[in-house]
Amino acid sequence: KLGNETVKAELGRATWKYFHTVMARYPETPTEDQQEALRSYIYLFARLYPCGECASHFQQHLSKYPPQVSSRNAAAGWACFIHNEVNAMLDKPEFDCANLGDFYDCGCNGDEEGGEG
Ligand code: FAD
């Protein structure tokens, strides 16, 4: 059981890092197509997340707080908010979303072709 908890936490940390980095690289002014891509991605991510209990919780959060995809700021702010919802559920401290800043730099500045950003 302890082993499972450790693995679940490692998966969570790796996933959050990736998830917030996707948002940090999302375009500041996305096209309709890019907005639809992010929205679909988030719903599929929630559905396919490889911890069934987590996926089911996250889908409930999503139905309460639908993804915000109108801009990078909106998407990054939404992701921070929803991660805080998970933090609250798990009795973890709230993260100050004003500190998102350079926290999720992918190290790919200058790589203009990377991802959607
Ligand atoms: P994490 O929550 O993994 O965060 C990693 C780092 O991100 C933190 O150290 C901090 O630097 C930063 N951070 C923290 N909050 C924010 C924020 N709001 N915005 C941006 N950055 C932030 N675990 C369960 O036991 N039950 C579940 O139902 C569950 N559901 C999950 C659903 C999803 C979609 C994901 C990705 C993970 C889920 N987890 C769940 C795992 C859980 O969220 C944590 O990842 C895990 O418990 C490890 O926590 P941690 O304290 O190391 O920090």
Query: What is the Å distance from ligand 1's center to 22 Cα?
Result: 16
Ligand 1 binding pocket mutation candidate from 45, 65, 82, 86 (most atoms within 8 A of CB): 86
- Atom 48 (ligand 1) nearest CA: 9
pLDDT reported for residue 1? 59
ipTM of the complex in this document: 0.99
Query: What is the Å distance from ligand 1's center to 105 Cα?
Result: 18
pLDDT reported for residue 43? 98
pLDDT at 116 over 70: no
Taking residues 76-86, what's their average pLDDT? 98
- Atom 51 (ligand 1) nearest CA: 92
Atom of ligand 1 nearest to the CA of 97: 19
Q: Which stretch of 22-26, 85-89, 94-98, 101-105 has the lowest confidence by average pLDDT?
A: 101-105
- Atom 36 (ligand 1) nearest CA: 12
Percent of the chain scoring above 70 in pLDDT: 92
Alpha carbon 80 to its chain's center: 7
Atom of ligand 1 nearest to the CA of 92: 51
Taking residues 93-117, what's their average pLDDT? 80
pTM over 0.90: yes
Characterize 86-117 residue by residue with b for buried, 16 or more Cβ atoms within 10 angstroms of its Cβ, and e for exposed. Answer: eeeeeeeeebeeeebeeebeeeeeeeeeeebb
Nearest CA to 78 among 30, 39, 37, 105?
Answer: 39
